[in-house]
Amino acid sequence: MKRTGSPAWDKIIHNLAAEIKMRHYSRKTLKAYADWSRKFQSYLQNKPHEELPASDVKAYLTYLAVNCKVSASTQSQAFNALLFLYRHILKKDFGDHKDIPRAKKSKYIPVVLSRKEIDAVLKYMGHPYGLAVKLLYGCGLRLFECVCRFHSRSCRS
């Protein structure tokens, strides 16, 4: 874990990592929650954790939505990271944050290829990339899941 310049916050981040590992959350969750905790710390300018009211969370989430114009999913991830931090690490009341300005939902519409277009793309893909793409498409795997499956299979061979 990176040091933050504040021994008290370093201890908080260390405790956060330990709690996430104990609960068997993924490494990506650990990284995301630790990053959001550091960003929150930076926003608060290393304010001592004993002096953190729930209103600081509201101010930070409002700042993310209004000033930083983050997406709704980014703001939700920050919310969940801070909720975990307050409840499980700081053991403080998180408060009721129903009146926080919410980031706007994206109006992105995904592009969907026809079956004929997909077959045309797959026709030009050789081994092992064709197999990986067929798994991604056919099984609905995420890229990371596919890479892990290929890696674990090649490790056994």
Give a yes or no: residue 43 inside a domain.
yes
16 and 61 in a single domain? The answer is yes
Range of the domain at 42: 7-90
Domain termination residue (choose one: 74, 90, 106): 90
30 and 81 in a single domain? The answer is yes
11 and 79 in a single domain? The answer is yes
Q: Total structural domains in the chain?
A: 2
pLDDT computed for residue 31 by the predictor = 94
b/e map of 97-126 (b: 16 or more CB within 10 Å)? eeebeebeeeeeeeeeeeeeeeeeeeeeee
75 and 144 in a single domain? The answer is no
What is the torsion angle, in degrees rounded to the nearest 10, for the CA atoms of residue 63, residue 83, residue 76 and residue 113?
150
28 and 72 in a single domain? The answer is yes
We report the CATH number of the domain holding residue 73 as: 1.10.150.130
Task: Label residue 11 by pLDDT band (50, 70, 90).
Answer: very high
CA distance 64 to 59: 9
Give a yes or no: residue 17 inside a domain.
yes
Give a yes or no: residue 98 inside a domain.
no
Task: Label residue 95 by pLDDT band (50, 70, 90).
Answer: confident
82 and 152 in a single domain? The answer is no
83 and 125 in a single domain? The answer is no
85 and 44 in a single domain? The answer is yes
pLDDT in tens, 14-70: 999 999 999 999 999 999 999 999 999 999 998 888 888 888 888 999 999 889 989
82 and 44 in a single domain? The answer is yes
Give a yes or no: residue 99 inside a domain.
no
pLDDT computed for residue 12 by the predictor = 92
Task: Label residue 146 by pLDDT band (50, 70, 90).
Answer: confident
Give a yes or no: residue 2 inside a domain.
no
